[in-house]
Structure 1
Amino acid sequence: MSQRIHFITVATKDLDAGRRFYQDGLGWEPLMDVPDEIIFFQVAPGLVLGLFQADKFVQDLGGAVLGTDVSGLMLSHNVESPERVRATVEKMVAAGGTVLKQPTQSDFGGIFHSHVQDPNGVIWEIAHNPGWHLEPDGTVVFE
């Protein structure tokens, strides 16, 4: 298997709240939106984030999963500066997110960051990491 991911799919208890948060609040454009089922957002070349209505998620798995709570998962979004961290967090809160950790200097790696939970429990880290950058081909480099 090649080392890549094409879809990250998250079971979502309230698809409409997810739509309001990502589409209406953050201004993300859906790649595909199937009402009462799933909404996809292209988040990088070849990578899609899917919010799948929880009961449909369980149905798709043939009932093999009992719970659909999001746990032990964090999605991260890196920005250019600490000021941009603060501005992004403000936008997420205005869209219905809940701040779990106010913007602050991290205990790890010189990162300035904040943690925000979306209306369905997905935790986002908004970070400025001066030791991280992307090459023109999309390769991540840690310095």
Structure 2
Amino acid sequence: MDQRLSFITLVVGDLEVTRKFYVDGLGWEPELHEVGEVLMFRVADKVVLSLWAESFFVEEVGKTPTRGGVPPITLAHNLATRAGVDTVLEQARTAGAAHVREATEREWGGYSGYFADPDGFRWEVAYNPGAIGQSVLP
């Protein structure tokens, strides 16, 4: 198996609420939108973020996902500057992010904060001056 990731799929409770947050609030452009079923965004050259309505997940996978608490996963959006981090966190707040944790200087040398999408998935918004952090910037 090649060392790569093609899709990141998150199960969402209300696809329309999710669409409004990502498309109307954050300004993202969908690659594919099957109303009521799935919303996909190309997030890198060969990586897609897929937001899948729970009923379709259950139909295919066969089990209802566990709900409650903070999902044990974070997604990260890296930026080239600290100011960029603050701008994106404010954009998420304006888009209706349920939870925003202000950015702070981190012991690893970076600067990051978090927001939650409508289903509680946490996004880290980060400036990472290290080589690996810089390697993921556009």
**TM-score, length of structure 2 as denominator length:** 0.90
Contact map agreement 2:80 2:134 (CA 8 A) in 1: no
* Larger strand share, 1 or 2: 1
1:130 equivalent in structure 2? 129
Give the equivalent residue in structure 1 for 2:85: 85
Q: Structure 2: how far apart are the matches of 1:81 and 1:120?
A: 28
- Indicate how the Cα distance of structure 1 residues 39 and 102 shifts in structure 2: closer, same or farther if over 3 A, else same: same
- If the length of structure 1 is used for normalisation, what is the TM-score? 0.87
Give 1:58's aligned residue.
58
What is the alpha-carbon distance in structure 2 between the residues aligned to residue 2 and residue 18 of structure 1? 31
Higher mean C-alpha displacement, 82-91 vs 66-75: 66-75
Residue 17 of structure 1 contacts residue 120 of structure 1 at CA under 8 Å; is this kept in 2?
no
Q: Partners in 2 of 1:100 and 1:91 — Cα distance? A: 10
- Equivalenced residue count is 134
Q: Relative to total residues, which structure has the larger helix share, 1 or 2? A: 2
In 2, Cα distance between equivalents of 1:95 and 1:135: 25
Cα distance between partner residues in 1 of 2:20 and 2:35: 13
Letter in 2 for 1:125: E
Question: Does the alignment pair 1:5 with 2:5?
Answer: yes
Q: Distance in 2 between matches of 1:24 and 1:122?
A: 18
- Secondary structure in structure 1 of the residue aligned to 2:96: coil
RMSD (CA atoms):
1.8
| Counterpart position of 2:14 | 14
Aligned with 2:40: secondary structure? strand
CA distance in 2 between counterparts of 1:135 and 1:66 reads 34
Corresponding residue of 1:94? 94
Counterpart residue number, 2:111 = 112
Aligned to 1:141: none
> What amino acid sits opposite 1:53 in the alignment?
A
Q: Percent identity?
A: 36
SS of match in other structure, 1:94: helix
- Any runs of at least 4 consecutive aligned residues in structure 1 with deviations exceeding 4 A, and if so which? none
Q: Which one-letter code corresponds to 1:66 in the other structure? A: T
The 2-side partners of 1:5 and 1:95 are apart by: 28
- 2: CA distance between counterparts of 1:8 and 1:113? 22
